[in-house]
Amino acid sequence: MNFNLPERKRKSMGIDMGPLMDMVFILLIFFVVTSTFTRETGVDVTKPQAQTASALNKENLMIAITREGSIHVNERQVDVAALRDVLQQSVQKNPEREAVIIADENAVTGMLVKVIDICTLSGVKKVSIAAQVK
C-alpha cells in the first residue's frame, strides 16, 4: 500500500540562543549591581565602633591597616616605605585630598601611629580614622 502523503519538512535541530542571552544579561546586571557594594579598601577590616562617627567624602584617600599589620592604599598593598611615596604623589595631584585610615580594631596601635605620621609628613592636610556608628 502506497499512501501518497506529502513529506514533512525536517526542522534543523539547534539551540535557541534567545533565552541564553537573556540569562547572560541578567547575570551581568546582577554582578554589576552587587560589585558596587564592595569594601572601600579591598581588604576585610573590622572597624571600631564610635557614637560620633559620621560619613566622609568618597574621594578621600583610603588607607587600610589589617590586624596582621599590612597596609593597603586604594585596594593595593604597600609597605611602610612605599606609603610615603604614594601619598606624596596623591597630594601633588590634589593638594586638598584628605586621608581616611581604616584600621582593624585588633590592629597594632604602633602601626596606626606610624601611618598617621607618614600621612602628616607627606603633606596630607587632614587625616581621619574610620569607625562604625555604635
Domains of the chain and any CATH numbers: 49-133 (3.30.420.270)
pLDDT (tens digit per residue) in 89-119: 888 888 888 888 888 888 888 888 999 999 9
For 8-33, the DSSP string reads PPPPPP---HHHHHHHHHHHHHHHHH
Return the sign of the alpha-carbon dihedral for residues 74, 76, 80, 82. negative
Q: What is the pLDDT of residue 49?
A: 60
The pTM score is 0.58
CA atoms of 23 and 27, how far apart (whole Å): 6
CA atoms of 124 and 61, how far apart (whole Å): 10
Mean pLDDT to the nearest integer, 63-74: 87
pLDDT (tens digit per residue) in 34-62: 765 444 555 555 656 655 555 555 577 88
